[in-house]
Structures are given as C-alpha cells and as structure tokens.
Chain A
Amino acid sequence: MRITVNVNGEDHTREVEPRHLLVRFLRDDLDLTGTHWGCDTSNCGTCVVLMDGEPVKSCTVLAVMAAGHEIRTVEGLAGTAGGDQLDPVQQGFIEEHGLQCGFCTPGMMLTGRALLDRNPDPSEQEIREAISGQLCRCTGYLNIVRSIQWAAKKQAESAAAATAAPTAAPAATLAGGQS
C-alpha cells in the first residue's frame, strides 16, 4: 500500500505492507533510528512517539494506521524554539542527568514534551504518572522526573521573560515562523 505519513513536519510517502509496524517504518524506511525498539510487546515503552501530539507505542501501531497523521519523533524535538536549539526537555535531561545508557530516553523526552504541552506546570505525581508506561532499565526515574521539572521551570521563565520584554515577542514569533 502507498501511504503518506507526516513525520516531524514533513510528508513521507512510501510503499508498505499493511503488517509493517510504525516503529519499523520510522527506523528502517525513514532511517530515523532515534525511536528505539525493545520488548516488541507494548510493555516497555521505549518505542513511544507522538501521534497527533499524544504518546503512543509505535510497536503496536501499524504504519498504515498512521497514514494521514502527524508523527513526532526524538529527531523532531530540537529546533522548535528556532534554529538548532535543543528543546527545553532535552536540555533538562542534560542538566539533571536524565539518562544513563540512553535507551529509554527518546520515549521519555517525547512523553515529557507532550505532558508540558498540555500541562505546563505538572506536579511531581503527574510527571510520574505520565512516564508510568515506560521502563528505564537503568532505573534513573528520579532524574528523569527532575529533568522534566527542569524543563517546566525553564519554559515558565522564558515565557515570563518574553512578557517582561514586549519587544522580544515579535522576534520570537518571526524566528518560529521561519524555522
């Protein structure tokens, strides 16, 4: 079947078998190997990507089911604030040592992004709940929570700075529009 999936803002058209899983489509057909693949049984959550803005386990979604939808992978995180700038969630994982081996990290960061998009000021409990479907074999959960908290704080500070300096706002909009 011929399908078109929008991945990180760009349409990708490919010929696929209906049984092709979204995780394979992203990794093998589009070479986006940032999406990891672990248990294959919808249990570990390392394959999490955003589908229309919400986390889903891409080992349990068919590529054909994603046709016509918007997929966001870890490769699409940087640059949203303009230029190559890291997403605040990515920066948070650096600042707070949110990763050890890095296997769970892409899925964790995307879940963090989706959470902050809906709820810019989540409680610790809400963050824990949001990542509860994803395993970290290195058991770095505390630092993952702190990383997402760091991002929330950073975003709030940036937003406050933008309102405090009104001239900065149009510039930011322009940069966003061009990226």
Chain B
Amino acid sequence: MQVPASFDYQRAQSVDEALELLRRHGEEARVVAGGHSLLPMMKLRLAGPELLVDINELHELDYIEVVGDELRVGALTRHRALLESELVGRHFPIVHDAEKVIADPPVRNRGTIGGSLCQADPSEDLSAVCGALHARTVIRGAAGERIVPMADFHRGPYETAVGVGEMLVEVRIPVRPGAGSAYEKVERKAGDWAVAAAGVALTLREGRIADAGVGLAAVGAGALELPAVQDLLDGREPSEALYEEAGRLASEHCSPVTDSRGSAEYKRHLAGELTRRALRRAVARAGAAVEREA
C-alpha cells in the first residue's frame, strides 16, 4: 500500500491564515487543494512537504464571475464547476472542450484550476488552455497581490512564479467580442493524460484574426504559449493555407520526448495536426460569435 511520509496538517480558515502558515513554514509547507496531483506525488516520495495547508474550506476562492471585460475564476474552482458553468461555455468553449477530457468525473469533483496551474506539469490541459487564452494569474502574499501573465507563470517543470509565503488566488481571462476558441486532445483511453493537445483562442475583426493564442500540452515545457505561431496568425485572413503554416510552425516550436504514450516524432506530428484542427474550430466559432453579436 502507498502511504505518504509523515507530515503535519493545518486546515486554513481564511486566506490570510493560509498565507501566514505558508510564510512561517517556508519551503517545507505546501498548499493542498484537490490533492489529486500532490497526494499521488507524496505517495511516490516525489514530494515530501512537512506541512500541508488545506485550503478546501476557503469557499471565498471558489467562484466564476465576469467583472468588466474579464472572467475571474477563483483558484479553488473545481474542474467540475468549470465544466458545468454556462458562463464559461458561452465565452470560452475551449475550457469545456478541455474539461470534457480532463481525467474523469470523480477526479474532476476534486481537482482545481489553481492546483492544475500550480502543478506546472507540461501535460496539464488547463495550463495550455490558459496559455492560449492569454490568462493572467493573481498571486497573493503578505505584501498584497501581484499579477503575472500566464506566459511568465511557469518557471520550469513543477516550478511557478508563486513564491514562498504566497498563493495563487485567481485566474483572469479577457472577454472579447468576436471571440472563438477550441481545444483538441489525443488520449490513449478515456480520461487519460494527453499524448498531445493543442488549444487555440482568437478573435475575428473585420474578417481578420486578432489576439491569437496558441498553447500546446504534453509536448515539453515552454509550449503553453507559442509567440511564433501567434505572430503568424495575427492580422491574417483565415485560410487552409494559413492553418497549414501555423501547424508546421507549432510542430517545430515544441520539444516532445518519446515515452509510453508515443514517440517524439508522433507527438510532433500531433502538435501540428491538432493545432490546425483547433484553429479551424476556433475560427468557425469566432465567425458564429461575430454573427450573434451583430
């Protein structure tokens, strides 16, 4: 039987209390949200915190709301809430595309958006989704809040911009007119981690692509936003030739490795093909949004 090594446990009753515990215990303390990445790692001795700060009772971090031209999602929002949110589906179909294929219902009942982003695993679907959407993260510490764009949030595998004594409290996603987005994932079996996946978000302005975001999952670190592909797309009229070119660039700008899910070559092929498919769907959805909003 797998059991984690011994640790202390504190259930935080407020965000301030959680921050104070994290500050006092420094590197030895870890937040536990859904625990569906952290507890398996602790069982395998890949993580060994001395103190777990449980944030599951902090309902003030569990919300989905539109404020001005942004969707704000609390860090403790569960996968399931994202999947069931009509508001999220209306503005960001990419999130629903992804959530339908993230793990399975019992895992989605526990796992959170905060845990997914803070795990900083290049295979985490929501990281690629938030990258494509040009999301911004809100990090809180004793000194107050700071805002870090998704592109700077991951500092390497399992490393984020969240410092000692800090927490991720919110994710902000820009709501724009004429927006369309989509997520395409290939998995070996229902509920599995991606072999490879691609997310695309964009807007259509007078028939041209703007605000393009392209993020890949499971093809190595540093692919949750691909500026080279985004620059190619911005300002261009959608066409099959453009999608072809974008797919080729995406497959060049990632670094997959061969593992039990597939060869590096196959994953590189998927990165290109899934980018093309996601682009096609995102453009179609943006077109529909333009018509709806007219």
Contacts and interface: CB of A to CB of B under 8 A. Distances in A.
Interface of A: 1, 17-19, 21, 24, 37, 40-42, 45, 48, 51, 54-57, 60-62, 64-65, 67, 111, 129-130, 132-134
A1 B110 CA distance: 23
A19 B6 contact: yes
A60 B105 contact: no
Given A19-B4, A41-B40, A133-B191, A56 B106 contact: yes
A41 B192 CA distance: 13
Contacts, number: 78
Interface string B175-190: 0000000000000001
Contact of B107 (A21, A37, A57, A65): A57
Report, nearest first, the 9 A-B pairs whose CB atoms are least far apart: A133-B104, A18-B9, A55-B106, A19-B4, A133-B106, A54-B109, A40-B2, A57-B106, A64-B9
B164 interface: no
Contacts of A45: 104, 106
Given A18-B8, A132-B190, A65 B105 contact: no
Contacts of B9: 1, 18, 62, 64
A64 B54 CA distance: 10
Contacts of A129: 105
Given A17-B6, A42-B40, A111-B105, 20 more contacts: A18-B6, A18-B7, A19-B6, A19-B7, A24-B1, A40-B1, A41-B40, A42-B36, A42-B107, A45-B104, A54-B109, A61-B35, A61-B110, A64-B54, A132-B104, A132-B105, A132-B191, A133-B107, A133-B191, A134-B106
Nearest to A67: B11
A65 B106 contact: no
